[in-house]
């Protein structure tokens, strides 16, 4: 049985992915900051800040999936929070790299990255994996995160980076927060409503991690976003429809979000189109291509 070590494996994506990997015959181990109870998973403790890791965490590992990271949308972006967002992704990747023994058995590392790689901009341009990282906070986070992953090539490990859009899931995450005002009847589009919202259903994302593990030709960066591009207005309308609600209010003005969220408001106010052609050309097939179907599935409990 091949063994997959998932960093941050107890989060939204990690839990779903663990089930998928186990169903496909993999043994799963999780690196976490705290002890957890689950008989079918071995948990190992690490402390990224102090650069310590359980001695046996890397034993017999065949694949690493790097999901760990302080939530980008969980707290306002103070200077300290920004450092934490970067360090929890970059220093964590370095910690594992430094601890890998000479005779390691790791064949590939597949890491999360973000569609924010291309920056907080609203335009009709369709970004592809060939584009450079943006010169803003999220662009910089993703660039540093991916650079840390690319160092693994020096240890003959195949590297894959999945630049992920908003993950739609029935188990929480951004969708749960976005759906709340709609459920209460005062949902509305945000800002101009014209900003694009790259998204992916959690089943497709976890299928893509599995696809990346199992296909040796999958290498480098891939956009993990559904093929259909939607604006914030279209997303809001689909969300309202799915919850059998009507949008009665005007768009939430951008300045209110700027006041309340500061720099982090760009997560809601900006967004471009991002292409999923590269992973599709590699043979990956999306199950959820339409937002309505993805929302319908994600909002059912």
Ligand X SMILES: NC(=O)c1ccc[n+]([C@@H]2O[C@H](COP(=O)([O-])OP(=O)(O)OC[C@H]3O[C@@H](n4cnc5c(N)ncnc54)[C@H](OP(=O)(O)O)[C@@H]3O)[C@@H](O)[C@H]2O)c1
Range in contact with ligand X (rule: CB under 6 A) among 12-20, 21-29, 150-158, 251-259: 12-20
DSSP sequence for the chain: --EEEEETTTSHHHHHHHHHHHHTT-EEEEEESS----TTSEEEEEETTTTEE-TTTTTT--EEEE-----TTTS---HHHHHHHHHHHHHHHHHHHHH--TT----EEEEEEEGGGG-S---S-EE-TTSPPPSSHHHHHHHHHHHHHHGGGGGT-EEEEEEE-EEE-TT-SHHHHHHHHHHTT----BTTS-SB--EEEHHHHHHHHHHHHH-TT--EEEEES-SS--BHHHHHHHHHHHTT----SPPBPHHHHHHHHGGGGHHHH---EE--HHHHHTT---S--SHHHHHHHHH--
Vertex 114 angle, CA 112 and 117, to 5°: 130
Tell whether residue 72 is a contact of ligand X (CB under 6 A). Answer: yes
Range in contact with ligand X (rule: CB under 6 A) among 162-170, 189-197, 262-270, 282-290: 162-170
Tell whether residue 12 is a contact of ligand X (CB under 6 A). Answer: yes
Range in contact with ligand X (rule: CB under 6 A) among 52-60, 69-77, 215-223, 248-256: 69-77
Tell whether residue 69 is a contact of ligand X (CB under 6 A). Answer: yes
Range in contact with ligand X (rule: CB under 6 A) among 65-73, 101-109, 272-280, 289-297: 65-73
Tell whether residue 93 is a contact of ligand X (CB under 6 A). Answer: no
CB of 46 to ligand X, least distance (A): 8
Tell whether residue 58 is a contact of ligand X (CB under 6 A). Answer: no
Tell whether residue 159 is a contact of ligand X (CB under 6 A). Answer: no
CB of 157 to ligand X, least distance (A): 19
Tell whether residue 18 is a contact of ligand X (CB under 6 A). Answer: no
Neighbour tally for 234: CB within 10 Å: 17
| CA–CA separation, 107 and 129 (whole Å) | 23
- Chain positions 180 to 219 lying near ligand X, rule: CB under 6 A, are none
Nearest residue relative to ligand X (C-beta): 11
Nearer Cβ to ligand X (108/224): 224
Tell whether residue 139 is a contact of ligand X (CB under 6 A). Answer: no
Tell whether residue 119 is a contact of ligand X (CB under 6 A). Answer: no
Tell whether residue 148 is a contact of ligand X (CB under 6 A). Answer: no
CB of 71 to ligand X, least distance (A): 5
Tell whether residue 10 is a contact of ligand X (CB under 6 A). Answer: yes
Tell whether residue 157 is a contact of ligand X (CB under 6 A). Answer: no
* Footprint of ligand X (CB under 6 A): 8, 10-14, 32-33, 48, 67-72, 84, 88, 92, 112, 114, 164, 166-167, 173-174
């Amino acid at each position: 049985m091949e063994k997959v070590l998932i960093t941050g494996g107890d989060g939204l994506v990690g839990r779903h992915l663990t089930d998928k990997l186990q169903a496909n015959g993999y043994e799963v181990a999780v690196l976490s900051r705290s002890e957890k109870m689950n008989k079918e998973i071995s948990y190992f403790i690490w402390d990224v800040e102090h650069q310590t890791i359980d001695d046996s965490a890397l034993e017999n590992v065949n694949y690493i999936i790097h999901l760990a990271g302080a939530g980008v949308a969980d707290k306002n972006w103070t200077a300290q929070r920004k450092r934490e967002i970067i360090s929890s992704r970059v220093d964590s990747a370095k910690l594992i790299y430094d601890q890998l023994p000479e005779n390691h058995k790791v064949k590939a590392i597949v890491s999360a990255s973000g569609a924010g790689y291309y920056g907080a901009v609203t335009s009709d341009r369709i970004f592809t994996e060939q584009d450079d990282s943006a010169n803003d906070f999220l662009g910089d986070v993703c660039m540093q995160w991916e650079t840390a992953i690319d160092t693994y090539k020096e240890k003959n490990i195949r590297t894959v980076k999945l630049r992920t859009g908003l993950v739609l899931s029935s188990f929480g995450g951004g969708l749960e927060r976005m759906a709340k005002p709609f459920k209460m009847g005062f949902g509305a589009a945000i800002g101009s409503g014209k900003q694009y919202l790259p998204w992916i259903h959690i089943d497709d994302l976890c299928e893509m991690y599995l696809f990346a593990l199992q296909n040796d030709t999958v290498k480098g960066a891939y956009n993990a976003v559904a093929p259909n591009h939607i604006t914030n207005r279209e997303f809001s309308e689909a969300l309202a429809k799915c919850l059998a609600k009507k949008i009665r209010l005007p768009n939430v003005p951008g300045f209110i979000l700027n006041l309340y969220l500061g720099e982090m408001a760009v997560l809601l106010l900006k967004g471009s189109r991002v292409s999923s052609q590269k992973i599709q050309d590699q043979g990956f097939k999306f199950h959820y291509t339409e937002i309505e179907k993805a929302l319908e599935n994600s909002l059912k409990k």
